[in-house]
């Protein structure tokens, strides 16, 4: 079974900062699921996707509504029903963590592409929705803030019908060494960008700029006091991720 990886989309947008991952709290690869799906290029049409009974699935611990086996992944929803996938309780979670997963939208002309994320049992998520690509898996990363051992995460389509998606490689990792948001602000000297962006960092740092869909749109390195041309970026809000010596921080900026 092969798993194909495409665009890496990071959605870790939170004023609490970004943390480095350590212990794995939960990890589900859906490798026991058979049938056809995105991992073998199947995103539309009459695919062989065995139905999974509604309720808690013994194989994975996920609770499902309208779920189907999809070749090492799970497909959620139908053309007429929304469906959802909810993780088991995240036993061992106590505080902040990193949720990562792969997901892609069903490839039909009427399909919407927004994936809703919900948290229950304690804690908040850094984002409540991400934008999927039709016919391809994207990688996503979301911060869990203040989670507990009762926390569950739910993935579901944006609307009651034509909101099908495939989900794979759901992992939750404990976080530590959180960087304050104020530290990120020191690296990005100006948060209102026109044609240039200014940085002030002591060590050589990797800078990644993400749009609000979590897509990487620009990356570069800076050191010391430096100005970078960002005129190619469209107007809007972006998240700037700065990484230096293994430490990461984020800052929201506005491009005029």
> Cα–Cα distance between 18 and 212 in angstroms, integer?
16
Helices (H), the chain: 181-187
Taking only the tens of pLDDT, the chain with its 256 residues reads 434 333 334 444 443 344 443 589 999 999 999 999 999 999 999 999 999 999 999 999 999 999 999 999 999 999 999 999 999 999 989 888 999 999 999 999 999 999 999 999 999 988 899 999 999 999 998 989 889 999 999 999 998 889 999 999 999 998 754 444 444 446 787 888 989 998 888 888 899 898 876 778 999 999 888 999 999 999 988 888 888 877 777 788 889 8
What does the angle CA 170 – CA 184 – CA 243 come to, to the nearest 5 degrees?
60
> Cα–Cα distance between 100 and 170 in angstroms, integer?
6
Per DSSP, the chain holds a count of helices (H) and strands (E) of: 1, 19
Where b means 16+ CB within 10 Å and e means fewer, 186-202 reads ebbeeeebeeebebebe
Give the chain's domains with CATH numbers.
20-176 (2.60.120.260), 181-255 (2.60.40.1930)
Where b means 16+ CB within 10 Å and e means fewer, 144-164 reads bbebeeebbbebbbbeeebbb
């Amino acid at each position: 079974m092969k798993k194909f990886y495409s665009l890496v989309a990071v959605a870790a947008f939170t004023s609490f900062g970004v943390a480095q991952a350590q212990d794995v709290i939960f990890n589900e690869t859906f490798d026991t699921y058979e049938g056809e799906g995105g991992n073998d290029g199947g995103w539309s049409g009459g695919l062989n996707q065995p139905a999974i009974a509604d309720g808690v699935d013994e194989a994975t611990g996920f609770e499902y509504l309208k779920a189907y086996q999809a070749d090492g992944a799970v497909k959620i929803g139908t053309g007429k029903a929304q469906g959802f996938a909810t993780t088991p309780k995240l036993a061992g979670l106590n505080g902040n963590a990193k949720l990562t997963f792969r997901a892609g939208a069903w490839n039909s002309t009427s399909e919407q592409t927004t994936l809703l994320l919900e948290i229950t049992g304690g804690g908040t998520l850094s984002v409540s929705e991400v934008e999927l690509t039709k016919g391809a898996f994207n990688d996503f990363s979301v911060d869990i803030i203040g989670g507990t051992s009762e926390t569950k995460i739910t993935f579901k389509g944006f609307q009651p019908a034509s909101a099908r998606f495939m989900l794979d490689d759901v992992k939750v990792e404990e976080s530590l060494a959180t960087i304050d948001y104020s530290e990120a602000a020191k690296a990005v000297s100006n948060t209102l960008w026109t044609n240039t962006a200014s940085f002030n960092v002591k060590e050589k740092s990797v800078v990644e700029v993400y749009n609000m869909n979590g897509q990487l749109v620009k990356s570069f390195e800076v050191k010391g006091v430096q100005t970078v041309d960002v005129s190619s970026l469209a107007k809007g809000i972006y998240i700037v991720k700065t990484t230096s010596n293994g430490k990461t921080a984020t800052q929201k900026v506005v491009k005029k």
